[in-house]
Amino acid sequence: MAKRRIQLIATLTLTGVLVGAVAGCQTVNTYEPNDPQAVVHTVNDKRVETDMSLINKAHMQSLITAHTPDGLLKVQAQLFNGTNKREKINYRFQWVDQDGMLIDTPLSTWKQVSLAGREKVMIQATAPSKNAVDFRLKLLEPKG
Amino acid sequence: MTKHTCKLFVTALAFGGLMLAGCESGNARRIDPAGTQTITSIKHLDIQDAADAAAAMSQSLLNSGRLGRHANAAGQTIVRPSIIAIDRYVNNTSQQIDRDEVLKKIRVTLNKAGVAQTLVTINDQGELGGESNIASKYAQQNTPADRSVQTPELLVVDYSLTFKIIENKGQAGKVRQTTFTFQMSLVDVKSGLAVWEDETQITKQGKHSSVGW
């Protein structure tokens, strides 16, 4: 009798976990032109990746730059969520002047972006000053 | 379950609890206001919400290319910081929100970018008497009552900046949701045209406030 009860509880738990796992899955279908007309300036990036679980949740696929009409540097990064469920990612852009000094600005705060499963998302930032010649993008997994 | 096993189980539970808590204590400590350890509340505008809204608006203004370039009398484009006056602020929320929680950050960003400077001698009614008492008094003393002659500062206002915050609340069961909508317009004072407008929204959802995000 006790053995049958344990089996029943185990079966119910497994079913619950499976239903929960399936319900947590949400992926996005994306469509875009096969031959994009945009002419982009892609940046060769240098990566320091210390959080391996984050790489799959927000894989940084490409970095492109442009300039505003006033000559301010603009950066756009393409992130890809390689998992099958929605993930939130914190990110922050920092700006560096021609002397390598970090530019202090209210624009450099942590922000959060939400990516559906298998979704590509663009995150953008504009430099706070014409002195900004370089940038740094940081990604951080949100708190549990 | 023996007494020894029970002790082991309780110890393991306590240890696990400590691990999960991440060694956090309730003691006050300083945190980075621009970081991810700030409190996220559902009903209120948090500091990171104000910073996010200010960043979105500042970036939109910088991207627009509207500021920092003007045409002179000969029709040539000259590069100089635009002079901005802070116009009407409308707070259509259930809470008191100081306009400078968002506006000051935008002003700082535009000022540091070298594309705009704020005139502080006129108030949001367009009258003399802005946030700088001394500069306002100087402007008053140098402006005749009939305004036949104006101080140079009053002549060069290029744009006014209007700002509005709207709040929208929703609830489904125990889950509550609050959306703050920030709307801003840059108005060319000579033509009265809104030459730049934007809106950004921040939505928060949950049952309880949380520490860190």
CATH of the domain at B43: 3.40.50
Q: What is the mean pLDDT of chain B?
A: 86
Q: Select the highest-mean-pLDDT range: A101-110, B30-39, B180-189.
A: B180-189
Domain that holds residue B61: 36-119+157-211
Of B35, B105, B113, the CB nearest to A110: B35
For A25-82, what is each residue's pLDDT tens digit? 779 898 999 999 999 999 999 999 999 999 999 999 999 999 998 889 999 999 999 9
Note whether residue B106 is domain-resident: yes
A41-140: CATH topology is Immunoglobulin-like (2.60.40)
pTM of the model: 0.81
Name the least confident of B62-71, B131-140, B186-195. Answer: B131-140
Name the least confident of A53-67, A87-101, A113-127, B147-161. Answer: B147-161
3-class DSSP string for chain A: CHHHHHHHHHHHHHHHHHHHHHHHECECCCCCCCCCCCCCEECCCCCCCCCHHHHHHCEEEEEEEEECCCCCEEEEEEEECCCCECEEEEEEEEEEECCCCECCCCCCCCEEEEECECCEEEEEEECCCCCEEEEEEEEECCCC
Closest chain B residue to A129 measured between Cα atoms?
Answer: B113
Q: What is the pLDDT of residue B131?
A: 83
In terms of DSSP bridges, do strands B82-92 and B116-118 run parallel, antiparallel, or are they unpaired? parallel
Note whether residue B29 is domain-resident: no
Q: What is the pLDDT of residue B23?
A: 52
Report the alpha-carbon angle B119-B202-B169, nearest 5. 115
Note whether residue B76 is domain-resident: yes
Name the least confident of A1-5, A102-106, B126-130, B197-201. Answer: A1-5
**Which residues neighbour A140 within 8 Å (Cβ) at sequence distance 6 or greater?**
A51, A54, A89, A90, A91, A92, A110, B36
Give dist(CA B190, CA B28) in Å, integer: 52
Q: What is the pLDDT of residue A144?
A: 67
Is the pLDDT at B148 greater than 80, yes or no?
Answer: no
- Please list every residue in chain A whose beta carbon sits closer than 8 Å to the beta carbon of residue B67: 70
Q: Which is more confidently placed, B47 or B139?
A: B47
Of A68, A70, A128, the CB nearest to B109: A128
Phi then psi for residue B64, to 5 deg, are -70, -25
**What is the least distance, in Å, from the CA of B114 to any CA of chain A?**
7
Q: What is the pLDDT of residue B157?
A: 87
Is the pLDDT at B151 greater than 70, yes or no?
Answer: no
Contact B36 A143 (CB under 8 A): yes
Using 50, 70 and 90 to split pLDDT, how confident is the model at B132? Answer: confident
B112 at A interface, C-beta within 8 A: yes
**What is the least distance, in Å, from the CA of A95 to any CA of chain B?**
12
For B57-113, what is each residue's pLDDT tens digit? 999 999 999 999 888 888 888 888 999 999 999 999 999 999 999 999 999 999 999
Give dist(CA A139, CA A12) in Å, integer: 38
Contact (CB, 8 A) for A108 and A95: yes
Averaged over B140-156, what is the pLDDT? 63
Is the pLDDT at B29 greater than 60, yes or no?
Answer: yes
Q: What is the pLDDT of residue B12?
A: 62
Note whether residue B58 is domain-resident: yes
Residues of A with CB under 8 A from a CB of B: 68-70, 72, 74, 90, 105-112, 124-126, 128-130, 140, 142-143
Averaged over B164-184, what is the pLDDT? 97
Q: What is the pLDDT of residue B72?
A: 84
Polymer length of chain B: 213
Contact B58 A108 (CB under 8 A): no
Is the pLDDT at B10 greater than 90, yes or no?
Answer: no
**What is the least distance, in Å, from the CA of B145 to any CA of chain A?**
39
Q: Residue ranges of the domains in chain A?
A: 41-140
Averaged over B133-146, what is the pLDDT? 77
ipTM entry: 0.78
Cα R_g (chain A), whole angstroms: 21
**What is the least distance, in Å, from the CA of A70 to any CA of chain B?**
6
Contact (CB, 8 A) for B126 and B88: no
User: Count of domains in chain B?
Assistant: 1
